[in-house]
Amino acid sequence: MQDVLFDFISKYITLTEEEKNAIAPLDIFRSVKKGTILLEEGQKSNESYFVLQGCIRTYYIIDGEEKTTAFYTEMEALSPHCVVSKTPSQYYVSCIEDTILTVSNTDMEAEINGKFPRFESLCRILSEQLLAKERIDFDEFKTSLPEQRYLNLLQKRPDLIQRVPQHQLASYLGIKPQSLSRLRARILEKKS
């Protein structure tokens, strides 16, 4: 499991043995069952996640309805807003599959960052990249219609459409489950 993490990091920086040895004993790996809720609305937390295998999602409950806004799968990281802002969480985080992830907290990160500046550099680069990508995704969402958004998703993350329940996909696309059904039927019709 460690190897998956180190392989990921090695795409950005080469860790020395000393650095690896500092990370190894931290006991950050956790295996969680499908359905487990990692973070609840209103809760304060300083835990960040990195998915090694499986899938987690963020969702809100608005007027009693679940609104899924994001999925994080293999090699994707989530520092919930509440961790960064030190305020109670506005959303839930839960596992939609049996999932293996790393869990780190702010103190651990501060310690590692203090000891190994290159690690902080890695984190800076990663968050800059994620921010730029998030903005592009947001732009794409704004500039396209639900049907185009679905077709886009089909291209970019075909796995999601397989592994995620339709009603969660729907709110991820900014529409209702019924509309997603209809939209898919419409697309099939066009093809024929």
Residue choice 12, 146, 153, 157 for contact with DNA (CB under 7 A): 146
Q: 105-108: list long-range contacts, CB under 8 Å, 24+ apart.
A: 105/46, 105/47, 105/48, 106/46, 106/48, 107/46, 108/26, 108/28
Helix (H) or strand (E) holding 50: strand 47-53
Minimum CB–partner distance for residue 37 and DNA (Å):
14
Non-local (6+) Cβ contacts of 38 within 8 A are 32, 47, 49, 56, 93, 94, 95
Contact call for residue 178 and DNA (CB under 7 A): yes
Contact call for residue 145 and DNA (CB under 7 A): yes
Contact call for residue 105 and DNA (CB under 7 A): no
d(CA 176, CA 169): 9
Q: Which residues bind a second copy (CB under 8 A)?
A: 58, 60, 62, 67, 69-70, 79-81, 83-85, 90-91, 113, 117, 120-121, 123-124, 127-139, 141-143, 171-172, 174
What are the tokens at 55?
């899938």
Minimum CB–partner distance for residue 26 and a second copy (Å):
19
Contact call for residue 147 and DNA (CB under 7 A): yes
120 touches, from a second copy, DNA, none (C-beta below 5 to 8 Å by class): a second copy
